[in-house]
Structure 1
Amino acid sequence: EGIPEKDNGDYLSLAGIFAAKGDSEKTSKYLEKVDDDVQFVKTIKSIKAQLAFKSGDYQTALKFLKESGDDSFASKYNIALAAYNAKQEREALSIIQQIIAGVNGPDRADCCRLAGNAAFALKDWKTALGWYLQLSSVDANNSIVQYNLAVASYNLNDIQNSWKYYQRAKALDPSIQNNDIEAKYKRSIGEGDVVAVSDSSEIWYNSAVDLQNGGMDSAAEKLYLKILEKDPAQSLAWNNLGAIYGARGDIDGAEQAYFKAIEKKHDIPETYANLVNLYIELEEYSKARQWIIKGIGHNPDSQVLMELKNKIVEAERNTKKATR
């Protein structure tokens, strides 16, 4: 504002700044100073739409966005967003379906979220589920996304998947609560206390495995630790924690978790295999041999461990060749 001599570009920039702040008086003041020229129409309409959106007048925002004639992805997405906020969910959904092809990354996530929310508002549960599933693939650790999947599945009468997504959501945000989903799940498994079911180590473990398989290691880790706090002898939880720590590059954590798993239960070939593979990756072949011997001793019929024994020999041979 302190520039003594301003041109049309300056006035448009200032109008845009004040529109973003919701200051209609100053926005109008600077727009009035812009020359009446067709080349500025698109920008002026966009600024007026921005001001209307900021003011919560979504119908007016939608009108100006459409009048701007801007056919960029950002403009079309904003039209869909304005339509959604103006309670014109079908239009919002239709626009997203037209513009999403070839869109990736954060823009695709935004499109899926908006389309899912629009379908949700329309109670079109099947369509909502499809969009939220797409969103989950790029935003897996979002409790609201998982919760919306649970609600959509519930309304499609798919209580098993509803419960699965509900448990994922609660693992990410323990404050989430839906009595309808819990009651319906309770009825589906027969009479009993659903709280007791949701608090059981078995349910926690199954949910944690599901989270881990879905790439949500941090949420799975929290559940495994919760299981082990209740039952430190749960060897499979220790084993899966080891896999999470190993994938994260926490070698000490992985090693200690595998040790704990073996300490609690000696006859699980998978744990020995995971530990041996860890040592092979670290090129610590003496430790790999030590643990393969112990593993085969406790699991003499394990084909996996017998094959892994040969893998140690081959890996050590290749390492020696590479260092010559």
Structure 2
Amino acid sequence: MLSNRLKHNTKSIFNLNSTQKRAKKEIEDKVEFGSYPFENVSCQVCNSIKSRILSEKDRYGLHYTVRVCENCGLVYTSPRMVQDAYNNFYALEYRRLYSGREVPNLDNLKINEARGEKIYSYLEQFIKIKNRPVKVLEIGCSAGGILSYFKNAGCETLGVDLDANYIGYGREKLGLNLVEGTLRDVPSDFTPDIIIYSHVLEHILDIKAELLKLKSVCTKNTLLYIEVPGIKNIHASYNFNFLHYLQNAHTFHFSLTTLRNLMYKNDFKIIKGDEFIRSVFVKREEPESKEYFQNDFKEIGSYLENTERAWNKKQFSFSVIKRKFYLFIKNILVKIRCRLLKWKHQSLP
């Protein structure tokens, strides 16, 4: 366990609204009564079962066991809900718990369009896109905010997502070509030049099967853009708060090294990437090399320990400041009270 605050309890780090509280209670009840069964899994990079537990809860206070593989450093969830349970969770509770709304939240559409612009600019390092018939496929596209930027730049776009409400909105309001489903529902005659997984890969349970199917969709020239919340970027993206980073919908937590290991083991090689994580891969043609594999266990462990230490230091400093501020205000109020009493005493005949 990384620290005591990560032991399981039901406390959320957020003030949940009524919608979120209902969704959380439904999840907890389904877990308790077996409607959401769990399974134990081994590391999906090296198949090892040797691991250390980092946390027993997520940011909403849900029971959520996250561990790090000692053989390669992959951070993953085990035990985790089985696929059918996750399917029902996404259909019934996910949006309500994460957005706090009973209906689809489309406020993030503009944010996703801005993300589309950033992804577009990042990919222009590798392929000329503007005003060319570049085919772009996005897996887990939601309402299509990212794709809309590519469409407006002249690309031929296709998106797939499991949420019918978001798919319907993207079709009707944005005029996008969207399909309800997964990678397996992409038409066989659509051969993409670019495939985008933006904050999607960390949600997929059978990641090896996904990458196997992905190989059949890619040509040797297809650029695969993968963006996930990097576990070595918690200091920047989550203000050193590891618990804020943890969420039950994420079953994998990648560093650039562990993502590269996973992709290489499944016949993809990295072109470029960072710890944010933004990365580009292509199909690997050359034979597998054992020298390519790197164990990130020690580096991830050291990073998380330092991050947790920095978080605790920040919290201690904040507590000290609060205490000093409280004493400062209390001292002022005492002085005011004394002066009022003195004035009142002097005013008496």
Please give the range of the TM-score, normalised by the shorter of the 2 chains: under 0.3
Higher relative contact order structure (alpha carbons within 8 Å, sequence separation ≥ 6): 2
Higher strand content, 1 or 2: 2
Q: Which has the larger radius of gyration?
A: 1
Q: TM-score, normalised by structure 1?
A: 0.25
* Structure with the larger helix share: 1
